[in-house]
Structure 1
Amino acid sequence: MKTHLKFLVILLLSGTMTFGQGQENYTPSQSNLEARQWFQNAKFGMFIHWGVYSILGDGEWVMQTQKIPIKAYEKLPTFFNPIEYDAKEWVKMAKDAGMKYITITSRHHDGFSMFDTKATDYDIVDGTPYGKDVLKDLADACRAEGIKLFFYYSLLDWRDDNYFPRGRTGAEIPGRSETGEWDKYIAFMKVQLTELLTNYGEIAGIWFDGHWDQKDWDGKKFGKLNVDWHYDEIYKLIHDLQPQCLIGNNHHLAPIEGEDFQMFEKDLPGKNTTGWGTDASDVGNLPFEVCETINGSWGFNLQDRKHKSKKELVQYVIKAAGHGSNLLLNVGPMPNGKIQEEHKESLKEVGEWMRVNGETIYGTKQGPIPPSDKMASTQKGKIVFLHLLDASETEVFLKDFNKKIKGIKFYKDETSVNYKKNKSGLSIQIPEARLDSIDTIIEVTLK
């Protein structure tokens, strides 16, 4: 058994815990502000959902959806042996796709840790025949290739007795105790976060998920929060250990003090097409990130046939950038450690597009033309990149476009584009032969 000395020490030191919900009076360090700027410019990252749940091939929520008893689920690690895992291959795949960072699940809702932790034996090093720290290998590979590394960390836990009171999910999983000590659970998380920010070099960010599990839900909106997550302590701990480390929390709310970027799950900023996302009124002023799956699942799902096309994926990158946001595109590796061939092919296709057109995405800000399903705009200095996503329209009218124009041409082409500008707006004519089936890019140079 591992020693739980660190766990006990932090628990004792934590003392009486306050009930603040953010890092009060948080002032970002200079290194944090620089990291935020880097993040805003990066625009494209890889999300990786990987854990013992991949063995069952039914997504990362399989413990909940199939109501698997804890004792039965605990058998999974004993035959999790991803001998074909190659961190260098993963990182090269992400880099070739044009991605600038990777966010990987260090611990998901099933409570299994994919790293070497002293807080529990329920981890990949102590609980599996593989016996190696996959996050250590990934951190080394990222560092070698200049790719930034973020750790996803689940706030909720379907296994730990001290995750009590119980949240909205996991209630029907057999074998859960009806008692627990919340403060011990908070202390446990502090130990693990300390390890993640101490043992793997510089970490670009922590990506929290699960806050919503402790909020009432009436089927239409979230209600009151039933616990204190101690963000005042947790966020301070992270920023004290690595001041540049960016904190994001997938709570579907306006940013909480101490957070450094705002994420939007399966939705563009403020759209909330899911019904449980972030409303437009809760969109803050921090850097944005949209997360989406390459198919229909986060974790490996053997039956998933909802694989997105090249057009869908490229246009998602464009639409996210048109909202001034990054896109974090997810893959769910198989239990053997390999990434599905379909995913690899899609990443290759997106990478080919980004190598040609990445200038219109990386380092840009949201352009002056409001994004829609038909178009998006990004801007870099005096140049506006107009991305036309509807290949059927040969004339585009931009209402109330009152900026002074120096010239308009096709991107990477000296060919001028015909346009007319008056008090009503800007009309641009596109020859049918010049329309691209995925994205016709027009370069507008402002005076």
Structure 2
Amino acid sequence: MQGNQKMKTLLCSVLISSGLSSQAHNVSEGYQKPTDPLVVRNLEQWQDLKFGLFMHWGTYSQWGVVESWSLCPEDESWTQRNPEHGKSYVEYVKNYENLQTTFNPVQFNPEKWAEATKKAGMKYVVFTTKHHDGFSMFDTQQSDYKITSSKTPFSKNAKADVTKEIFETFRKDGFKIGAYFSKPDWHSDDYWWSYSPPKDRNVNYDPKKYPGKWDKFKTFTFNQLNEITSRYGKIDILWLDGGWVRPFHTIDPKVEWQRTIKVEQDIDMDKIGTMVRRNQPGIIVVDRTVSGKWENYVTPEQAIPEHPLSIPWESCMTMGDSFSYVPNDHYKSSQKIIETLVKIISRGGNYLMNIAPGPNGDYDATVYERLNEISGWMDRNQSAVFATRSIAPYHEGDFYYTQAKDGSTVNVFHLNEKTEYKAPETLTFTIPESFNPKSLIIPGISSKIHWKKNGDTVEVKLPAERSKLRYALVIQMKK
């Protein structure tokens, strides 16, 4: 199949741009194009959005540690535990789960987030309703391990159901709404059964040996997803994480982390998917790394494919070094964020940038600085970013290409990753095949632009006004 070959190309060419190995998911092969016309339409609209907000947030933000993974008994760099939080594994887990009793993010203000991210050009949001640790950031009736429990101080706040507040606020601001949900639940006794200690990230018993217990977990998961998709208004994307919870026959032995799956963990995605589509007609379902009809787009993590893909895809990458809140995190520069966006959209993808709120319920001050800086660039160049698709030659040297969906405009981005961006006096670049430019502008420059076409190239002379352009320059050519 052509889809298989496309995904094999992606697997071979993905560049991991971060050391966060805990998050380094391989992308599954065998993409299946959705046939439901409502899903197809939603997916087309989603591909127009290009820039989205990801938010990992939970009780773990109080310790400033990686989300959930320190509970996992695998001996990896990202699962290490601070002895100050517990000298033994049992003590650590107890103290981690006790973070529920001190979680009180009183500065939580989703209107502030929506305003800042919308100005920066973000057009959809994916929020972690529940990560692998099992702590629900929504008002589930299936568990008391949740932000709205009386055990949690923030439950007394009028905005205690943060998922509700975030979804309603961002929806009013025109964002598409995405619900992240972890299929594994390390707090559930029906996933990590207290009868035995957990061995790794996987279920710690054999579901075939104890089918009744596994059925209880499937019901628990189904009920929580039913709550999210029936009680929280219009939801456009269901973003399912924890790809080790999957039918055993779907395991790819070439993928290292999938080789650790030793037992059947079929959670019945057909039943779940049918239910969520009944609750939310046209919803995009992303069963990450599990190829088939429930993985409507693919999601390389902390990575960008080297080559364009003809299937819907999204890179989820962090603004800082971590998906979760870390005090004094190192946030990427505005120029780096824009360069990343340009690379992703030139290859036909979307950029889902993660920003992690802190334990007080707000972003770090540096985040707002970055968003404000990005907003100025986006104001000038948004027509080259949104509702665009990839076009050959895609990328040549410091030049990256997109085109308007109707093919009327080609956008050429010029970057300089080695230093702070300064537009040169002259730019020469290849014209896409069969495109004959009749006019040329550079957003942000009002002076006359002198340019000429030489065969399959264009040479542009930039006026002195170019000195005010920051981060990246955009040339827009129309037929």
Q: Same fold (TM over 0.5)?
A: yes
Native 8 Å contact 1:43 1:362 kept in 2: yes
Quote how far apart the aligned CAs of 1:141 are. Answer: 1.4
User: 1:16 matched to which residue of 2?
Assistant: none
Equivalent residues in 2 for 1:392-407, closer than 5 Å: 394-398=426-430, 401-407=433-439
Write the distance in 2 (CA, Å) between the matches of 1:205 and 1:97. Answer: 21
Does residue 386 of the first structure (1) align with residue 412 of the second (2)? Answer: yes
Native 8 Å contact 1:114 1:135 kept in 2: yes
Native 8 Å contact 1:164 1:182 kept in 2: no
Give the residue type in structure 2 aligned to 1:211.
G
Give the residue type in structure 2 aligned to 1:420.
K
From 92, 101, 106, the counterpart of 2:115: 92
Native 8 Å contact 2:229 2:276 kept in 1: yes
| TM-superposition CA deviations, 1:245-288 (whole Å, max 9, x none) | 1112332x6x42133332221122x34xxxxxxxx79x562x32
User: 1:3 matched to which residue of 2?
Assistant: none
**Alpha-carbon spacing, 1:352–1:260, altered in 2? closer, same or farther (3 Å):** same
Equivalent residues in 2 for 1:166-181, closer than 5 Å: 171=199, 181=213
Deviates more, 1:336-345 or 1:396-405: 396-405
Native 8 Å contact 2:377 2:470 kept in 1: no
User: 1:342 matched to which residue of 2?
Assistant: 366
Secondary structure of the 1:89 match is helix
| TM-superposition CA deviations, 1:181-219 (whole Å, max 9, x none) | 322222211100000011111111111111047657778
Native 8 Å contact 1:401 1:426 kept in 2: no
Give the strand-richer structure, 1 or 2: 1
Write the distance in 2 (CA, Å) between the matches of 1:400 and 1:190. Answer: 48
Secondary structure of the 1:198 match is helix
User: 1:120 matched to which residue of 2?
Assistant: 143
Write the distance in 1 (CA, Å) between the matches of 2:463 and 2:340. Answer: 24
User: 1:11 matched to which residue of 2?
Assistant: none
Write the distance in 2 (CA, Å) between the matches of 1:145 and 1:112. Answer: 27
Native 8 Å contact 2:32 2:292 kept in 1: no
Does residue 249 of the first structure (1) align with residue 287 of the second (2)? Answer: yes
Write the distance in 2 (CA, Å) between the matches of 1:385 and 1:25. Answer: 28
From 212, 215, 227, the counterpart of 1:195: 227
Give the residue type in structure 2 aligned to 1:94.
T
Native 8 Å contact 1:111 1:160 kept in 2: yes
Equivalent residues in 2 for 1:231-246, closer than 5 Å: 231-246=269-284
Quote how far apart the aligned CAs of 1:242 are. Answer: 0.8
| TM-superposition CA deviations, 1:63-85 (whole Å, max 9, x none) | 33245533232211011111111
User: 1:300 matched to which residue of 2?
Assistant: 325
Give the residue type in structure 2 aligned to 1:426.
T
| TM-superposition CA deviations, 1:208-248 (whole Å, max 9, x none) | 11104765777857449643242222222211211121112
Quote how far apart the aligned CAs of 1:23 are. Answer: 13
Give the residue type in structure 1 aligned to 2:475.
I
RMSD: 3.2
Give the residue type in structure 1 aligned to 2:187.
R
Quote how far apart the aligned CAs of 1:138 are. Answer: 1.5
Secondary structure of the 1:46 match is strand
Equivalent residues in 2 for 1:95-106, closer than 5 Å: 95-106=118-129
Quote how far apart the aligned CAs of 1:62 are. Answer: 3.6
Give the residue type in structure 2 aligned to 1:120.
S
Native 8 Å contact 2:287 2:294 kept in 1: no
Write the distance in 1 (CA, Å) between the matches of 2:222 and 2:389. Answer: 35
Quote how far apart the aligned CAs of 1:431 are. Answer: 4.1
Write the distance in 1 (CA, Å) between the matches of 2:256 and 2:128. Answer: 28
**Alpha-carbon spacing, 1:130–1:37, altered in 2? closer, same or farther (3 Å):** same
Give the residue type in structure 1 aligned to 2:188.
D
For normalisation by structure 1, the TM-score amounts to 0.81
**Alpha-carbon spacing, 1:354–1:25, altered in 2? closer, same or farther (3 Å):** closer
Does residue 34 of the first structure (1) align with residue 41 of the second (2)? Answer: yes
Deviates more, 1:51-60 or 1:390-399: 390-399
Aligned residue pairs total: 405
Native 8 Å contact 1:24 1:232 kept in 2: no
Does residue 53 of the first structure (1) align with residue 48 of the second (2)? Answer: no
